[in-house]
């Protein structure tokens, strides 16, 4: 899609939606950058953190097109999805600190965040593990005649799992209201996707299941929003599922604050290329060019987000850890 075509599509998005998406992306970025700083400077945070820096446009564009009652199922890299869906920032920070005020009561850590009241019933570190759960939720919505859809985010590594193909088939066969969002950041943990998949055109894998699909620029928030909005409307109207492959890139390593350049896993040239395609700066240029925001407004948004994150850090530090007597509270047992 050319820049002119992208601009025409984006101009159809109301200014309040554009504003909301920009604020969401900045909040996610500031949150993740602060986590990275803490991980480098201290041992306050012990849970493994898979940072979302560089991929903010995907969660933001998709979740902005959803309603509160729609479901989102997430992965080990869940912070961005949680915040974009409307999860509480203080509760997320407290969970990463494993405190009892956290969104999972300090029992889940970074990789198992949840906010059921906002439509994020859970996330899982099992690769591909939430794909069938999202389809199950969509099946329930369908049986109950609910006007709701289910969205599952997963990485390119999840496409190796058999459950991915089984679920696509089941969802298409039953025309379930579920959207499959692949965040293709080019690496399956530490391996380039081309070293793992014989066919790296992930979106085309939907074709064999008679399912519509698209490969889009996952760093263009407006394109993500427009594509997701159409897929969600189709699902809500009974037309069934869609697979969206969002081409994006994580700036940090698979886990933790390092960029992994010292490990020889990727080149500095590759990282620089994708950092120059920063989704936040891309949207900033669009907003300024079309008079949606001023430089002053943008500065104020960044300042407010930084202050909000610092308040969350203070809240998390001052919160108590779960009591050992609460170990079995709020969990399931058979």
Alpha-carbon span 160 to 35, nearest angstrom: 30
Query: Residue 323 falls within a domain, yes or no?
Result: no
Query: Residue 328 falls within a domain, yes or no?
Result: no
Cβ proximity of 168 and 205 under 8 Å: yes
Q: Which of 241, 188, 219 has its CA nearest to residue 76? A: 188
Query: Residue 287 falls within a domain, yes or no?
Result: yes
For residue 41 the two structure tokens come to: 């400077």
From first CA to last CA, the distance across the chain in angstroms is 51
Query: What 3-state class would DSSP assign to 190?
Result: coil
Question: What is the CATH classification number for the domain harbouring 75?
Answer: 3.40.50.970
Query: Residue 330 falls within a domain, yes or no?
Result: no
* The pLDDT of residue 334: 47
Query: Residue 145 falls within a domain, yes or no?
Result: yes
Helix (H) or strand (E) holding 215: strand 213-217
* The pLDDT of residue 5: 59
| Apex 293 CA angle, 289 and 297, nearest 5 | 135
* Domain enclosing residue 73, as ranges: 3-316
> Phi and psi at residue 115, in whole multiples of 5°?
-155, 70
The mean pLDDT values, 10 residues at a time, for the chain of 334 residues are 61 90 98 96 93 97 97 96 96 96 90 92 90 97 96 94 96 97 89 84 95 97 96 97 97 90 86 95 94 95 98 96 80 59
> Phi and psi at residue 170, in whole multiples of 5°?
-65, -45
Query: Residue 118 falls within a domain, yes or no?
Result: yes
Query: Residue 136 falls within a domain, yes or no?
Result: yes
For residue 124 the two structure tokens come to: 């899982």
Give the predicted TM-score (pTM) of the model.
0.92
Query: Residue 324 falls within a domain, yes or no?
Result: no
**Rounded to 10 degrees, what is the CA torsion of 91, 96, 97, 101?**
20
Total domains in the chain come to: 1
Alpha-carbon span 310 to 27, nearest angstrom: 12
Q: Which of 245, 235, 63, 64 has its CA nearest to residue 149? A: 235
* The pLDDT of residue 195: 82
Cβ proximity of 317 and 97 under 8 Å: yes
C-alpha 330 chain-centroid distance: 25
């Amino acid at each position: 899609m050319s820049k002119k075509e992208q601009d025409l599509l984006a101009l159809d998005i109301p200014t309040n939606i554009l504003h909301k998406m920009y604020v969401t992306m900045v909040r996610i970025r500031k949150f993740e950058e602060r986590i990275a700083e803490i991980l480098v400077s201290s041992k306050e945070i012990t849970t493994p953190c898979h940072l979302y820096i560089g991929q903010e446009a995907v969660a933001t564009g998709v979740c902005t097109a959803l309603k509160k009652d729609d479901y989102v199922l997430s992965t080990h890299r869940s912070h961005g999805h949680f915040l974009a869906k409307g999860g509480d920032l203080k509760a997320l920070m407290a969970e990463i600190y494993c405190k009892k005020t956290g969104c999972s009561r300090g029992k889940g850590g970074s990789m198992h965040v949840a906010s059921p009241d906002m439509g994020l019933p859970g996330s899982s570190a099992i690769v591909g593990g939430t794909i069938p759960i999202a389809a199950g939720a969509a099946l329930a919505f369908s049986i109950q005649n609910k006007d709701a859809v289910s969205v599952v985010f997963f990485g390119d590594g999840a496409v190796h799992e058999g459950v991915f193909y089984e679920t696509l088939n089941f969802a298409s066969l039953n025309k379930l209201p579920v959207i499959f969002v692949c965040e293709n950041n080019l690496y399956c943990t530490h391996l380039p996707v081309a070293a793992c998949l014989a066919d790296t055109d992930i979106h085309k894998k939907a074709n064999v299941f008679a399912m519509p699909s698209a490969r889009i620029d996952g760093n263009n928030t407006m394109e993500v929003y427009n594509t997701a909005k159409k897929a969600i409307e189709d699902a809500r109207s009974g037309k069934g599922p869609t697979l969206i492959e969002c081409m994006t890139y994580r700036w940090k390593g698979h886990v933790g604050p390092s960029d992994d350049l010292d490990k020889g896993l990727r080149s500095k040239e590759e990282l620089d290329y994708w950092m120059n395609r920063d989704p936040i700066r891309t949207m900033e240029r669009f907003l300024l060019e079309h008079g949606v925001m001023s430089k002053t407004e943008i500065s104020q948004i960044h300042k407010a987000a930084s202050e909000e994150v610092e308040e969350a850090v203070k809240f998390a530090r001052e919160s108590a850890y779960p009591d050992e007597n609460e170990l079995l509270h709020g969990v399931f047992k058979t």
